[in-house]
């Protein structure tokens, strides 16, 4: 293959590629302009705002429903746990022959978790090391 024919084919390739790039650039520019025009349309902006408000309302309602369902499930689980522990205590008392304790009063979970003011967790005393004395 001669250098001249290769050079000519290379120039044709560059011309064709340049035209393809120009066409693609024009298409991108036209699409970008169409999107900008659509974004600037007040009617479309209002539709987007309305849709976002609907989505916000739906998300808020769904979150509230989910929180209520989770609270109800936690309450049911707590009741079931207390009932089961009472039954175990009664069965244990029957086996040992002792009278069962009176049923425990139901507690609110939040009340059990609250600490009184000024109450702190006790810390274990530090052990003295049996190492060498420091001077």
- Taking the CA atoms of 71, 72, 73 and 79 in sequence, report the sign of the dihedral they define: positive
Spatial contact of 47 and 65, defined as CB atoms under 8 Å apart:
no
In whole angstroms, what is the distance from residue 9 CA to residue 4 CA? 9
Q: What is the DSSP letter of 125?
A: P
> Quick count: other Cβ atoms within 10 Å of Cβ 26?
10
Rounded-to-integer distance, Cα 31 and Cα 33, Å: 5
pLDDT at 111: 47
Give me 23's structure tokens: 């066409």
**pLDDT tens per residue, range 15-35:** 999 999 999 999 999 999 998
- Spatial contact of 109 and 82, defined as CB atoms under 8 Å apart: no
Look at residue 49 and tell me whether its pLDDT is greater than 70.
yes
Summarize pLDDT for 52-109 with one digit per residue, the tens: 999 999 999 999 999 999 999 999 999 999 999 999 999 888 888 765 555 555 555 5
Helix (H, G, I), strand (E, B) or coil at 71: helix
The stretch 4-16 carries a mean pLDDT of 89
Give the pLDDT band (50/70/90) at residue 4.
Answer: confident
């Amino acid at each position: 293959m001669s250098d001249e024919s290769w050079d000519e084919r290379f120039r044709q390739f560059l011309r064709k590629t340049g035209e393809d790039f120009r066409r693609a650039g024009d298409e991108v520019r036209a699409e970008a302009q169409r999107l900008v025009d659509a974004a600037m349309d007040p009617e479309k902006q209002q539709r987007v705002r309305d849709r976002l408000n609907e989505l916000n309302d739906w998300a808020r309602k769904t979150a509230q429903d989910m929180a209520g369902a989770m609270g109800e499930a936690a309450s049911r689980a707590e009741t079931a746990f207390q009932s089961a522990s009472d039954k175990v205590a009664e069965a244990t008392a029957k086996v040992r022959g002792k009278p069962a304790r009176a049923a425990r009063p139901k507690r609110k979970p939040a009340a059990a978790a609250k600490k009184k003011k000024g109450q702190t967790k006790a810390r274990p005393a530090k052990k003295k090391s049996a190492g060498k004395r420091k001077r």
